[in-house]
Chains A and B, each alone.
Chain A
Amino acid sequence: MDLAAPEGASGELTSFGMLFTHAVALETRAAALAGQAVAQAAAGAEKAGLEGCAGLHRRRVADLERLRRERLNEVVLQPVAGMARERYVFPETLPAEARASAGVLGQVEEILARFYEDGARAAGAWAGLERVFRRYAAESRAQAARLP
């Protein structure tokens, strides 16, 4: 049974469910882009770094899904505001050249950091989620700084 989220929805992210769904979609895409960059990179430290980046995003997908399943209850539910999906959109593809790809991945990390910083503010009433989003934002900022 396919229980995946629908494609193509747009507009404001107005609920925790939408925040999670969008976060999972972004992380899945980030892992795929990082995987493409790994394939382009020559062996060495840079390739290892990109593999680490892909692994980070794959782990986050699993962690976000578990977080939604285990921690969401009615006490923390309330409307979410100030999150326009259009602010958090990745490039469709990577450039053919490896170094340029790494640069695009840096932009991806910046977008992720912005998403999690905004999300942490929007999720302020749910302290557990706010904490996780702030950690993810810091990780993505650090990851962006490491990429060329």
Chain B
Amino acid sequence: MSHPLPEVARHHGRLEHFIDGQFVAGEAARVLPVVNPATAEEIAEVPLATAAEVDRALSAAAGVFDEWRETPPNLRVQPLYRLKVLLEEHYEEIARVLVQEHGKVIDEARGSVRRTIDNLEFACGIPSLLMGHTLEDGAAGGIDEEVLRQPLGVCAMAAPFNFPAMVPFWFWPVAVACGNTFVVKPSEQVPITQSRIFSLIAEAGFPPGVVNMIHGDRETVEQLLADPRVRAFSFVGSTPVARALYAGAARNGKRVQCQGGAKNFLAVMPDADLAACVPNMVSSFFGNAGQRCLAGAVLVPVGREAGAVVGELVQAARQIRLGYGLDERAQMGPVTGRRQYERVRGHIERGCAEGAEILLDGRDPQVPGYPRGCFIGPTVFDRVTPEMALAREEVFGPVVAVVRAATLEDAIALANTSRFGNAASIYTASGRAAREFKYRVQAGNVGINLGIAAPMAYFPFGGQKDSFFGDLHGQGRDGVDFFTDRKVVISRWI
């Protein structure tokens, strides 16, 4: 029997929207259950916003925009500082709520809450980050030229299910610090964490309407995209949706950044220190049950000794203990929900049908105490060819495809055939090989002897090809650029 950490609440009730500084009960007839993927218990209900509720949120955000943008930057960040203190105080509680609705293990949840706070801290630096620049006599003698950064207006985002706390914080804190107002739409699969965070946002002292949250689904997103008051839109999710939203937002004249799916390659050179890199690869492939856009998906052993790395990976993967993420003994939780469970199983079955050699089969694992959970164990396929779906399509689960390469050049070429370009890693003792890899591989986030190349809040979160649609990424200075317009002023005083 397991010994899980206590849940914050067994059931979180019916969630509410946060509009104009108030929590409001949803009027919708459409209400979805939120289900703990480890226990299969319903743990909350989420109302999907009506068109009128979305409109109220946008009206609130638009109505307060002038007041907020006229608030000096050093004062705009004060509620962010207060929110940081509140998040620190409620850190463990938020992490446990996150585990309960998402399924990831508690350490992963704690780490993602930390990254949530990191993004808030970055936004607190906006008085420096927002500075423009000036050139005396820049246009001609006696005529100066300067660049000002100004906020856009109402901005909005739709969040994915895999990081319920963190991903909204890639966007809204920096947007709001820049002087914009914001509407957040959490994933309807995992809305509890963000609701809990918004109860802290309500205490942080933002003027009503500056930050709003509406629960919803595709219809909600379509309304946000169509509304002319929304000036910028951010999204993280699957590639087909990212591509469609990018096109839709552009059609409606909005600034847009859409992060899509991934198929990340981990190349292991013959000189790699396996004792050091295998545990790291395990974390990359199986951490968060593989539901990370930065997760390793394809293992590419380079050279003739491929068997050693594959053998050690399988051996390590066998040791992974599955369980409810609130049990600190668990090293991997369930995937998030029945639909995701069926989807990942489908990929495994297709891999078998396509002729890949399954070395470790994670279907139907036994997880004592959680017979109804959406658990899929670590799964490793060897002898995958580049043409197989396992090597090309995003699984978003704990499934590894081993594709062997004779040389580093072959490994890079293999990675570059992917339509995705989110992340890629190399394990090697050779600086030359590492340099060649980072120079040539077509991926927005590159790891060297590191399987999860997750940029910190002050760096942009990269992504290329079908993994990102837009110009400016989330996080870092890209975020400041995305959420501001640059205005050039040329002045002459006579």
Interface residues of A in 46-97 (CB under 8 A from B): 68-79, 81
Bound together, the chains give a CA A75 to CA B320 distance in angstroms of: 18
Report the interface size for chain A: residues with CB under 8 A from the other chain. 30
Q: Which of A3, A15, A68 contacts B331 (CB 8 A)?
A: A15
Q: CB-CB < 8 A to A45: which residues of B? A: none
Is there a chain A Cβ closer than 8 Å to B276's Cβ?
yes
If A15-B328, A18-B329, A77-B287 touch, does A125 touch B88 (CB 8 Å cutoff)?
no
Interface residues of A in 1-40 (CB under 8 A from B): 1-6, 8-9, 11-12, 14-18, 21
Q: CB-CB < 8 A to B329: which residues of A? A: 9, 11-12, 14-15, 18
Q: Indicate if the CB atoms of A5 and B5 lie closer than 8 Å.
A: yes
Q: Indicate if the CB atoms of A74 and B112 lie closer than 8 Å.
A: yes
Q: CB-CB < 8 A to A68: which residues of B? A: 110
Is chain A's interface secondary structure helix, strand, loop, or mixed overall?
loop
Bound together, the chains give a CA A15 to CA B110 distance in angstroms of: 13
Is chain B's interface secondary structure helix, strand, loop, or mixed overall?
helix
Q: Indicate if the CB atoms of A3 and B93 lie closer than 8 Å.
A: yes
Bound together, the chains give a CA A37 to CA B427 distance in angstroms of: 52
Q: Indicate if the CB atoms of A74 and B115 lie closer than 8 Å.
A: yes
Q: Indicate if the CB atoms of A125 and B321 lie closer than 8 Å.
A: no
In the assembled complex, the CB of B193 is this many whole angstroms from the nearest CB of chain A, namely 16
Report the interface size for chain B: residues with CB under 8 A from the other chain. 39
Q: CB-CB < 8 A to A4: which residues of B? A: 6
Q: Indicate if the CB atoms of B91 and A15 lie closer than 8 Å.
A: no
1/0 per residue, CB under 8 A from A, across B323-358: the answer is: 000001111000000000000000000000000000
Bound together, the chains give a CA A17 to CA B107 distance in angstroms of: 6
Q: Indicate if the CB atoms of B331 and A73 lie closer than 8 Å.
A: no
Is there a chain A Cβ closer than 8 Å to B59's Cβ?
no
In the assembled complex, the CB of B275 is this many whole angstroms from the nearest CB of chain A, namely 10
Q: Indicate if the CB atoms of A79 and B96 lie closer than 8 Å.
A: no
Q: Which residue of A lies closest to B321 (CB)?
A: A14
In the assembled complex, the CB of A88 is this many whole angstroms from the nearest CB of chain B, namely 15
If A15-B329, A79-B319 touch, does A6 touch B108 (CB 8 Å cutoff)?
no
Interface residues of B in 8-29 (CB under 8 A from A): 8
Interface residues of B in 55-111 (CB under 8 A from A): 88, 91-93, 96, 105-108, 110-111
Q: CB-CB < 8 A to B308: which residues of A? A: none
Q: Which of A2, A6, A15 contacts B105 (CB 8 A)?
A: A15
In the assembled complex, the CB of B478 is this many whole angstroms from the nearest CB of chain A, namely 20
Q: Indicate if the CB atoms of A75 and B328 lie closer than 8 Å.
A: no
Q: CB-CB < 8 A to A16: which residues of B? A: 107
Q: Indicate if the CB atoms of B3 and A72 lie closer than 8 Å.
A: no
Bound together, the chains give a CA A15 to CA B282 distance in angstroms of: 13
Q: Indicate if the CB atoms of A79 and B316 lie closer than 8 Å.
A: yes
Q: Which residue of A lies closest to B330 (CB)?
A: A15
In the assembled complex, the CB of A84 is this many whole angstroms from the nearest CB of chain B, namely 13
Bound together, the chains give a CA A14 to CA B331 distance in angstroms of: 7
Is there a chain A Cβ closer than 8 Å to B138's Cβ?
no
Q: Indicate if the CB atoms of A125 and B331 lie closer than 8 Å.
A: no
Q: CB-CB < 8 A to B110: which residues of A? A: 17, 68-69, 72
In the assembled complex, the CB of A5 is this many whole angstroms from the nearest CB of chain B, namely 6
Bound together, the chains give a CA A77 to CA B96 distance in angstroms of: 17
If A15-B329, A17-B107, A69-B114 touch, does A78 touch B279 (CB 8 Å cutoff)?
yes
Q: CB-CB < 8 A to B283: which residues of A? A: 74, 77-79
Q: Indicate if the CB atoms of A17 and B287 lie closer than 8 Å.
A: no
Q: Indicate if the CB atoms of A77 and B320 lie closer than 8 Å.
A: no
Q: Indicate if the CB atoms of A125 and B328 lie closer than 8 Å.
A: no
6 contacts between A and B (CB under 8 A): A15-B105, A15-B328, A69-B91, A71-B114, A72-B114, A75-B450
Contacts A14-B331, A77-B111 supplied; 7 other A-B pairs, CB < 8 Å: A3-B8, A15-B105, A15-B328, A16-B107, A17-B328, A70-B114, A74-B111
* Top 9 closest pairs, chain A to chain B, by CB: A78-B283, A17-B107, A9-B3, A73-B111, A78-B279, A6-B3, A17-B328, A74-B111, A18-B328
What is B's interface to A at a CB cutoff of 8 Å?
A: 3-6, 8, 88, 91-93, 96, 105-108, 110-112, 114-115, 118, 276, 279-280, 282-283, 287-288, 292, 316, 319-321, 328-331, 450, 452, 454
